[in-house]
Amino acid sequence: MGASPSVVADRLRVAGVHNEHVLTVEQHHNSLERAHTELHADCAQTKTNGESEDGLARDDEMRSKMCALIRNKCNVNDEAQLMLIMATVEELVRQQGPQPGQQNQNGSTQEQQSLPRVVYVPHPQNTDNIELSQDLVDLTELLAENTHEEWALQRTQQGWTYGMSRDDEHKLHPCLVPYSELTDEEKEYDRITAMKTLKLLLSFGYTITPPSKSKASSDDDATNDLNTS
């Protein structure tokens, strides 16, 4: 249950549980707490093994077993009193957080959340030694503009609209404007992304030739072939 015997006793009295039952619950606190933890662990194991797909059924089964345990161990035969005790116990459990083996809302268990997180250190490909020609510098700006257009399209499809300041709750964003209307500071993010992508391609050995130069080279080859013939 997570709380000390005295805390449990005080909460039971506030809930209107008769003092005789409060004393017996307090007396058997440790064994009840162990039983409660074991029942939670059994339910978690059942889910892990795929033996039951119905979470509500598992919870009801655990609750029934806990009721039976309190009824027998603490000699509580009054059903109304038993329900008051169970309600108080469950409230204390909720306040204490997930039990060992029980999943949180994000799907992780209490043990998993307590494990130290490995520090993530990004290691992008080093392209500092790659130089871009003027043609590729010009291409960087075209890619940056298209990157912004793709981002803006995705945002609008998600229901975002323009706003003077960013508001995640109402889906407002000041950058939902044409690329030409962005400040240089706002454009810099897209420019850096485009530039890094081009440098990465070059570092992998790819060649990027502007269409005009490629066409001119093809025309020269064709002319040379005619002259040769």
User: What is the three-class DSSP state of 116?
Assistant: coil
CA gap 11, 229 in Å, rounded: 103
pLDDT digits (tens, 9 = 90+) for 45-76: 554 454 444 555 556 666 777 777 777 877 87
- CA of residue 30 relative to chain centroid, distance: 36
Whole-number pLDDT of residue 82:
76
Listed residue (22, 17, 90) closest to 60, CA to CA: 90
71 & 140 share domain = no
Please indicate, yes or no, whether residues 94 and 148 belong to a single structural domain of this protein.
no
Same domain, 94 and 142: no
**Stretch 146-170: mean pLDDT, rounded?**
93
**73 burial type by CB count under 10 A (0-12 exposed, 13-18 middle, 19+ buried):** middle
Tokens in use for 74? 């603490």
pLDDT band at 111 (very low <50, low <70, confident <90, very high): very low
* Rounded (10°) angle between helices 19-27 and 29-48: 70
Q: How far is CA 131 from CA 118, 187, 214, in A?
A: 35, 21, 20
> Residue 137's Cα: distance from chain center in Å?
37
CA atoms within 13 A on the CB side of 132: 20
**What is the phi/psi pair of residue 161, to 5°?**
-135, 170
Same domain, 96 and 158: no
What mean pLDDT do residues 130-134 have? 93
Given pLDDT bands bounded at 50, 70 and 90, which one contains residue 92?
Answer: low
Amino acid at 153: L
Confidence check: pLDDT of 163 > 60: yes
**92 lies in the same domain as 14:** yes
The reply to whether 111 falls in a domain is no
Give the model's pLDDT for residue 123.
81
pLDDT in tens, 29-40: 777 777 666 666
Is residue 125 in some structural domain?
no
Confidence of residue 217 (pLDDT cuts 50, 70, 90): low
Question: Would you say residue 152 lies in a domain?
Answer: yes
- Within a domain: 183: yes
Residue 33 falls inside a structural domain: yes
Give the CATH number for residue 168. Answer: 1.10.490.160
* Neighbour-count burial of 92, counting CB atoms closer than 10 A to its CB (0-12 exposed, 13-18 middle, 19+ buried): middle
Q: Residue 55's domain spans which residues? A: 5-102
- Give pLDDT, residue 204: 94
For residue 9, give both structure tokens. 């006793």
pTM for the model = 0.45
Domain shared by 56 and 139, yes or no: no
Residue-averaged pLDDT of the chain: 75
Number of structural domains (the chain) is 2
23 is a domain residue: yes
Q: Is the pLDDT of residue 89 over 50?
A: yes
Q: Which amino acid is at 148?
A: H
Q: Is residue 159 part of a domain?
A: yes
Question: What mean pLDDT do residues 189-200 have?
Answer: 94
**Which contiguous run of DSSP H or E holds residue 184?**
helix 184-203
